[in-house]
Amino acid sequence: MEGLILPLAMVAMLAFMMYSQRKQQKQRQDALNQIKKGDEIVTIGGLFGIVDEIDEKKVVLDVDGVYLTFERGAIRQRVAEAANVTAEDLSPAVEEVASTEVAATEAE
């Protein structure tokens, strides 16, 4: 009976470690699946860029106007989510700029 305790404990620890590893892999895969065009990400090499294209195998990053292609697994994490700017969001700002330009033109 005493000879079974150590092997059972080792099997239990191994099972727990495998469970933890699978959980981490699932979390990473879920995080990669949420990345979309416009997100700012950092690669495993430390390169920051904006996602221009993404599919199941590769991602194209815009790094200061240079487009680089990486394997999707090379993404470490998302730094910032893409801004969801709609035409309605821009309308008040566009109207304000237009009215400022009109006022400046009339003042001349």
Instruction: Report the C-alpha gap between 90 and 98 in whole angstroms.
Output: 12
Q: Which domains does the chain have, with CATH numbers?
A: 2-82 (2.30.30)
Model pTM? 0.60
Contact between 71 and 58 (Cβ < 8 Å): yes
Instruction: Report the C-alpha gap between 13 and 24 in whole angstroms.
Output: 17
**CA 45 and chain centroid, separation:** 15
pLDDT in tens, the chain (108 residues): 677 888 899 999 999 999 999 999 999 999 888 999 999 999 999 999 999 999 889 999 999 999 999 999 899 989 888 776 444 444 444 445 445 554 554 555
Instruction: Report the C-alpha gap between 34 and 1 in whole angstroms.
Output: 50
